[in-house]
């Protein structure tokens, strides 16, 4: 469901004078993104697209690194609840039928979160998360992705260190991300349901560090969970595909 062609065009980001170093949207940039989302919504044939998509692998396929029990609860209960509750929440409102990214953007409301933001963003974040992993994943990326990581972090090891630190130090519930903006890769950590879409960058990879993501398998040992994720679960293929889409969206004109 993560349709990278529906990402905002980078022209909006490049032209903005008002993003700070973390890529946070200024109101000026938000308006441009809003127009992009409206164009995407208009051209999209999909109306009510809030679907609990299954992960691209069986619920036991990530064992022993992430248990079937965790997937059953995390996808089957938590993610499902975000989707179902979102549907109920937008029913009969002006948000009903709007694409998910549109709802996320408008309910983020420049940081003054509106009620539907939590469910909408979490529905998006979790689908993105399942697709960030694969059976037999992990290890080091290769090709252009590795080259860019080496360019922007000086080495894969430095990227790993930064991503690990972000995931380990996001206090309370949240996410750590690899994101792309202004032709640069960066690591970002966000609280609760916030994601890089609302901060003006293209998400490429995420790890869920809400306790429900790891508690059954690792209890309090979040560092062990992060290490397992990086060593055994990351789908660099998915990350590379997202990077290509982000670059294409950035460089295409009008």
Partner 1 sequence: MAIRCVASRKTLAGLKETSSRLLGFRGVQTFTLPDLPYDYGALEPAISGEIMQIHHQKHHQAYVTNYNNALEQLDQAVNKGDASTVVKLQSAIKFNGGGHVNHSIFWKNLAPVNEGGGEPPKGSLGSAIDTHFGSPEGLVKKMSAEGAAVQGSGWVWLGLDKELKKLVVDTTANQDPLVTKGGSLVPLVGIDVWEHAYYLQYKNVRPEYLKNVWKVINWKYASEVYEKECN
Would you tell me which residues interact with partner 1 (CB under 8 A)?
A: 73, 77-78, 81, 118, 171-174, 191-193, 210-212, 215-216, 219-220
- Smaller CB distance to partner 1: residue 180 or 218? 218
Smallest distance, Å, CB 12 to partner 1?
29
Smallest distance, Å, CB 56 to partner 1?
23
Q: Tokens for 40, please give them.
A: 């995407």
The partner residues of 62 in beta bridges, in order of sequence, read none
Smallest distance, Å, CB 88 to partner 1?
15
Q: Tokens for 42, please give them.
A: 């208009």
- Smaller CB distance to partner 1: residue 44 or 192? 192
- Smaller CB distance to partner 1: residue 143 or 172? 172
Smallest distance, Å, CB 230 to partner 1?
22
Smallest distance, Å, CB 128 to partner 1?
18
Q: Rounded CA gap, 233 and 194, in Å?
A: 23
Phi and psi angles of residue 203, each rounded to the nearest 5 degrees, phi first: -70, 140
Sort 49 into a burial class: Cβ within 10 Å, 0-12 / 13-18 / 19+.
middle
- Smaller CB distance to partner 1: residue 163 or 210? 210
- Smaller CB distance to partner 1: residue 26 or 192? 192
- Smaller CB distance to partner 1: residue 103 or 204? 103
Smallest distance, Å, CB 220 to partner 1?
4
For the chain, the residue count is: 254
Q: How far is CA 198 from CA 34, 88, 112, 114, 165, in A?
A: 11, 23, 12, 13, 22
Starting from the edge strand earliest in sequence, which strands make up the sheet with 174-181, in order? 184-191, 174-181, 202-208
Q: With b meaning 16 or more CB within 10 Å and e meaning fewer, what string describes 213-240?
A: bbbbbbeeebeebbbbbbebbbbbebbb
């Amino acid at each position: 469901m993560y349709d990278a062609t529906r990402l905002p065009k980078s022209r909006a980001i490049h032209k903005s004078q008002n993003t700070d170093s973390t890529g946070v949207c200024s109101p000026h940039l938000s308006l441009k993104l809003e127009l992009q989302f409206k164009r995407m919504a208009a051209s999209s044939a999909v109306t009510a697209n809030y679907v609990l998509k299954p992960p691209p692998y069986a619920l036991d396929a990530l064992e022993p690194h992430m248990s079937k029990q965790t997937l059953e609860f995390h996808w089957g209960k938590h993610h499902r609840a975000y989707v179902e509750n979102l549907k109920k929440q937008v029913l009969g409102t002006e948000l009903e039928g709007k694409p998910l990214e549109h709802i996320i953007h408008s309910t983020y409301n420049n940081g003054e979160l509106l009620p539907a933001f939590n469910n909408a963003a979490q529905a998006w974040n979790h689908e993105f998360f399942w697709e960030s992993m694969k059976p037999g994943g992990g290890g080091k990326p290769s090709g252009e992705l590795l080259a860019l990581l080496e360019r922007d972090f000086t080495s894969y090891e430095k990227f790993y260190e930064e991503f690990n630190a972000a995931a380990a130090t996001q206090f309370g519930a949240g996410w750590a991300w690899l994101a792309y903006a202004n032709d640069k890769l960066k690591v970002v950590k966000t609280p609760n349901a916030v994601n890089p879409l609302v901060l003006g960058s293209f998400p490429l990879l995420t790890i869920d560090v809400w306790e429900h993501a790891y508690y059954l398998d690792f209890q309090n040992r979040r560092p062990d969970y992060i290490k397992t994720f990086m060593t055994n679960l990351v789908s660099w293929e998915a990350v590379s595909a997202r990077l290509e889409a982000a670059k294409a969206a950035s460089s295409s004109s009008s």
